[in-house]
Amino acid sequence: MFKKKRKTNLRGIRPLSAPGSQWRGYQQRIQLHDEKRQARRRIAYYFISLLILAACIEGGFYILKKRLPSYTDMPVSLYPPDVDPIDTDGLRALLEPGILYNPTGSEIEFLSGQHKYQLYTGIDTDLQKAVLRSFDTRHANRIGIVAMDPGTGRVLAMASHDADDPDRNACFAADLPAASIYKIVTAAAAIEKTELDYGSNIPFNGGKFTLYRNQLTDQIHQYTNYTTLKAAFAESINPVFGKLGKNELGKSLLEEYGHAYLFGRGTDFDLAVQQSVLEISNTPYHWAEIASGFNRETTVSPLHAAMIAASIVNDGEMMRPWVVRAAARDNQTIYRYQPEVLSRTVRPETAKTMRMLMEATIREGTARNQFRRTGSDPVLSRLEMGGKTGSINNNRRQIRYDWFTGYATDPGGSGDIAIGVIVAHKEYIGKRAAAYFQDAVKHYFKGRIGDDGQEG
């Protein structure tokens, strides 16, 4: 008797019991079935792989779109200019003051005569809006804030408030005293033209924030105090800088370095900027006043203050500031910016020393209280920051002028920024200039580093 045959699990294939060719045919059909089954599996595998590849490509384009600048909004004929090109003088003549007042977009259109003009700016719109939102105008007569990229001169934000003249752009007004901001110039000159360095021991007599004639002598007695150049800069000690101006530098060097930093010279910019004032008499005591910033005649604008800080972090090169990347008339390009070094303020090694002085101002000097909590901030704690404060009252002592100019740089390489801030406080001291600086820096680097301090 024959045993009952086992049922096969192969559909459509009948088992054969005969030997020979029938058996070989049976094996071939099994092999063919396996090949078809494997082919079906490969098709499914290829289909899934194709879907994954498509998703990766789409994601890659999305990332590139986010990380790379988009030029789809630029005029087709952007490079090079092709219709009656104009220079920066022509651009200034074209732009009325109100056209770029507190801009919140990177593209601006306006009519002039029979033509429509388009401006393509370098404004960081997110930063610009954040700075404007941060304004506390209740106790401030004037606020002017300019942020720029130190290496290119690109103006990232320029925000203005002026209660006395709403049409005036406070960012470009140089009618307020520079105060101790000028100590940056004096310190740079002293480092390059005397034997002082940041750790040099310097004697002074009397209080830190006064400037009497008897404090400018080299007399040493039992009440003489000693400090370093770094501490004198960080704490803004007037008699130390007064003595440097009167006894070491004199009128010619104060003027030479002041002009290198563009004091007493015009600022080449896309819009009209009021010239920062520097006038030095032949009186030695006046040299002390200028060197320490203990006067109301030396003036500076927030744009210029930002440029000074930018040159320090840019190894002594002061770049020409710009806000207009390109301009077009009736969609035909007539202007595009060209990078330019305006001034070599100091040697790179001097700029490095100046950064040490400005970092000390934040850590242990006049700005330490405003920056005391930055060490626990997930963004600010990752940055190297330096700055200089300046404060002085107006003649009637009704308004307190509060300056801060400084820089922030990410050691991880995500960028640098320099910011100049003026706040003219009324009867009560409101939000300080250093606080505006921190807010702007934090917002700028937040998207670059991330809330958790990780590189974004």
SS3 label, residue 140: strand
What six digits make up the tokens of 17?
Answer: 């019991």
Phi-psi region of 129 (alpha: psi -120 to 50; beta: other; left: phi over 0): alpha
CB atoms inside a 10 Å sphere around CB 325: 18
Distance of CA 196 to CAs 188, 189, 323, 332, 398, Å? 10, 10, 38, 55, 38
pLDDT of 255 > 80? The answer is yes
pLDDT at 74 over 80: no
For residue 63, the model assigns a pLDDT of 43
Q: Is residue 75 scored above 50 in pLDDT?
A: no
Q: If DSSP codes are grouped into helix, strand and coil, which group holds residue 350?
A: helix
Instruction: For 415-433, write each residue's pLDDT tens digit.
Output: 999 999 999 998 889 999 9
Segment 231-256 mean pLDDT: 98
pLDDT in tens, 359-412: 999 999 999 999 999 999 999 999 999 999 999 998 777 899 999 999 999 999
3-state secondary structure of 162: strand
Confidence check: pLDDT of 350 > 60 = yes
pLDDT at 448: 87
Confidence class for position 447, pLDDT limits 50, 70, 90 = confident
Reported as a single tens digit per residue, the pLDDT across 180-233 is 999 999 999 999 999 899 999 999 999 999 999 999 998 999 999 999 999 999
Q: Exposed, middle or buried: residue 5 (CB in 10 Å: 0-12, 13-18, 19+)?
A: exposed
**Taking 60 as the threshold, does the pLDDT of residue 64 lie above it?**
no
Distance from CA of residue 128 to its chain's centroid? Answer: 12
